[in-house]
Amino acid sequence: MSGREPRPRPDRERSRITKDSFLYGKAVPIVLGALGLITAFMIVFALGVLVGWIPFR
Amino acid sequence: MSIQQMLPFLSTAVMAVFTTSVLSRYFVRRNPAFLFWGIGLAMFGAGSFAEAYLALAWSPVIFFVWYFFGAVLNAAWIGHGTVYLLFRRRWVHVVTAILVLGSLGALVLMLQVMPRLDASHFTSALPISEQYREIMPPVSEGATIRLTTPIFNMYGLLTLVGGALWSAFLFWRKRVLPNRVVGNALIAVGALSIGFASTLTRLGYGSLLYIGELVAAVLMFSGFVRASAPQPEEAPQPVAAQA
């Protein structure tokens, strides 16, 4: 049988986050969640400005 | 020149490098996401430059550039690039047509308000973000353009920040490409910082806009570079043994 090297895997499969990483296991989901909440708040705020609930100067 | 007057020049310089980097990728890959990002970033940079200019002297043309590109359009056009990245192109083209038509409509509204600017209230001692309300007429007196900023900015917020957070979440959930998790998170934080500063400006607290723009420029560029960086390779897989 030939000793041909396996076909290179795409980038997506080659760089993985380790299972015991504190940064990616705890910190990243908390940060993403907080940013999501802030984004939702700012969208609601902009809607409030648009409909006149919040004073527009 | 004070530090506050220097900040928008710094933002302009960062955005110039960022815009060039993104547009050069468009000319190589022809991905429309890079085109819209590049156009939006160029608008951001034009707005920063106009802000820097207006910290020194008045010009109605430069005020037009600051408000139309810096306050109204840039967030939506940057965010629209992310839409091309995340969704199928067939209906994204429809949204593109709406964005272009909306931008043209905003242009008409902006041109209508230009003859009614009152430059007698202008002073280079204050950032333009703290005095534009005295220069532009109120909405009740025909400055309808001011009502379009929440609409365009909401779209930009939803697509740019929402898209970056969604991308970061997807890569995190699949436990792959950590650079893209961090890069997209940086882009989201950068976009939120300018969104927050812009919101404060509309509430009458415009002194933070300069620093918000610089923070946004640095963070978004850093995020883009991080997300685009080549991924570190894992240990090579063993070659199949010969029989």
> Which chain A residues touch B if contact means CB-CB below 8 Å?
1-6, 11-17, 19, 24, 28-29, 31-32, 35-36, 38-39, 42-43, 45-47, 49-50, 55-57
Does B233 reside within a domain?
A: no
Q: Which residues of B are less than 8 Å from A1 in CB distance?
A: 240, 242-243
Chain A interface mutation, best of B134, B147, B203, highest count of A Cβ atoms under 10 Å? B203
Q: Domain tally for chain B?
A: 1
Does B55 reside within a domain?
A: yes
Minimal Cβ distance to A16: which of B157, B165, B175: B175
The pLDDT tens digits for A2-47 are: 445 454 445 455 567 666 777 778 888 999 999 999 999 988 888 8
- pLDDT, residue B241, reads 44
Range(s) of the domain holding residue B165: 3-228
Taking Cα atoms as reference points, which of B53, B54, B106 lies closest to residue B75? B106
pLDDT band at A57 (very low <50, low <70, confident <90, very high): low
Q: Enter the ipTM.
A: 0.78
Phi-psi label, residue B142: left if phi above 0, alpha if psi -120 to 50, beta otherwise: left
Does B237 reside within a domain?
A: no
- pLDDT, residue B233, reads 56
Q: Which pLDDT tens digits describe chain B residue by residue (243 residues)?
A: 777 778 889 999 999 999 999 999 999 999 999 999 999 999 999 999 999 999 999 999 999 999 999 999 999 999 999 999 888 878 899 999 999 999 999 999 999 999 999 999 899 888 898 899 999 999 888 899 998 998 999 999 999 999 999 999 999 998 888 899 999 999 999 999 988 888 888 777 877 888 889 999 999 999 999 998 876 655 444 544 444
Does B239 reside within a domain?
A: no
Does B236 reside within a domain?
A: no
- pLDDT, residue B163, reads 94
Using alpha carbons, list the distances in angstroms from residue B25 to B22, B28, B35, B226. Answer: 5, 5, 9, 15
Q: What are the domain boundaries of chain A?
A: 21-57
Q: Which residues of A are less than 8 Å from B199 in CB distance?
A: 42, 45-46
Does B208 reside within a domain?
A: yes
